[in-house]
């Protein structure tokens, strides 16, 4: 099970994400880092975990601002690779992002998030634009699809995951925002297990609610290859002994 530390940035600083209520996010207070600047937090996480792959949610970009390339570069100076969610909502924004990202070898993955999609017809084209860097994020809110697209609301989470895989995505994030930052345990394992049984070749990553190693074991038993973790690292409630982070 690969641990993937999460960094949520908003207006240039790292914030503490809680249950998807982004208007209420405050700069993070971490037991690992001395301040909330992206570079400092990334360096502290890397020193503490030994992980070299981070998930970065650019919340300002998700809300409509331009991607914060300066923050991405600052994190990359620690030697980390990044999976970046910058709110790419349509083919045009994805092309612009990929043009900028093309020469940046620290970008491991480019997230296409269900939450940001503006049309259900764009998914195959978005996969083709992002190609092998593309990662589909199956965004949930308390187990329900998190989407602005009316046609997608009629689908179950399992159907939406299958649709993304059939569109060509070979990496999926299954993320329940209601569980983020509340230390309530993981809720996505049943969905992940159903997807892993149907599509054993797809790499599944789950997030939201990881507290300790038992939660990681639960996700691994469900077929997940990785887990997104933030609060449990900053609060030191997740032990990394013995390390299992690569």
- 45 in a domain, yes or no? yes
- 27 in a domain, yes or no? yes
Whole-model pTM? Answer: 0.92
Judge whether 136 and 170 are in contact, CB under 8 Å: no
**Who contacts 57 (Cβ-Cβ below 8 Å, separation ≥6)?**
6, 7, 8, 9, 17, 85
- 245 in a domain, yes or no? no
In this predicted structure, what is the pLDDT of residue 242? 42
- 239 in a domain, yes or no? no
Gyration radius of the chain's alpha carbons: 16
Judge whether 240 and 49 are in contact, CB under 8 Å: yes
What's the Cα-to-Cα distance from 134 to each of 87, 118, 131, rounded to whole Å? 13, 17, 5
In this predicted structure, what is the pLDDT of residue 183? 67
In this predicted structure, what is the pLDDT of residue 205? 98
- 144 in a domain, yes or no? yes
**Who contacts 217 (Cβ-Cβ below 8 Å, separation ≥6)?**
1
Cis peptide bond prior to 242, omega within 30° of 0: yes
**Who contacts 237 (Cβ-Cβ below 8 Å, separation ≥6)?**
183, 211, 212, 231
In this predicted structure, what is the pLDDT of residue 162? 96
Q: Report the distance separating Cα 200 and Cα 193, nearest Å.
A: 10
- 213 in a domain, yes or no? yes
- 244 in a domain, yes or no? no
What's the Cα-to-Cα distance from 46 to each of 22, 111, 189, rounded to whole Å? 25, 21, 27
Q: What is the DSSP code string of 147-186? A: -S-GGGGGS-HHHHHHHHHHTT--EEEEEEGGGTTTT---
In this predicted structure, what is the pLDDT of residue 21? 62
- 246 in a domain, yes or no? no
Pull the structure tokens for residue 67.
Answer: 């991607």
Domain CATH code at residue 137: 3.20.20.70
Domain count of the chain? 1
pLDDT tens series, the chain, 246 aa: 899 999 999 999 999 777 656 666 778 778 888 899 999 999 999 998 999 999 999 999 999 999 999 999 999 999 999 999 999 999 999 999 999 999 899 999 999 999 999 998 999 999 999 999 999 999 999 999 999 998 888 899 999 999 999 999 999 999 998 887 666 788 999 999 999 999 999 999 998 888 888 999 999 999 999 999 988 898 888 866 544 444
User: Whole domain around residue 43: which residue ranges?
Assistant: 2-234
Q: Report the distance separating Cα 141 and Cα 174, nearest Å.
A: 11
């Amino acid at each position: 099970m690969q641990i993937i530390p999460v960094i949520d940035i908003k207006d240039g600083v790292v914030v503490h994400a809680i249950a998807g209520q982004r208007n209420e996010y405050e700069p993070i207070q971490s037991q690992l880092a001395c301040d909330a600047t992206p570079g400092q937090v990334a360096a502290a996480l890397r020193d503490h975990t030994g992980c070299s792959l981070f998930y970065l949610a650019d919340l300002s970009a998700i809300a409509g601002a331009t991607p914060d390339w300066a923050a991405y570069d600052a994190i990359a100076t620690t030697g980390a690779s990044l999976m970046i969610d910058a709110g790419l909502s349509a083919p045009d924004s994805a092309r612009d992002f990929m043009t900028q990202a093309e020469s940046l070898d620290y970008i491991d993955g480019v997230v296409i998030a269900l939450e940001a999609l503006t049309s259900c017809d764009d998914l195959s084209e978005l996969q083709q634009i992002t190609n092998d860097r593309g990662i589909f994020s199956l965004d949930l809110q308390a187990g329900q699809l998190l989407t602005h697209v009316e046609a997608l609301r009629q689908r179950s989470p399992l159907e939406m995951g299958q649709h993304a895989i059939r569109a060509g995505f070979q990496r999926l994030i299954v993320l329940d925002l209601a569980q983020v930052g509340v230390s309530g345990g993981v809720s996505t394992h049943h969905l992940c297990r159903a997807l892993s049984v149907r599509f054993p070749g797809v790499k599944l990553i789950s997030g939201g609610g990881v507290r300790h190693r038992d939660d990681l074991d639960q996700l691994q038993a469900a077929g997940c290859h990785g887990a997104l973790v933030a609060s449990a690292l900053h609060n030191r409630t997740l032990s990394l002994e013995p390390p299992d982070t690569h």
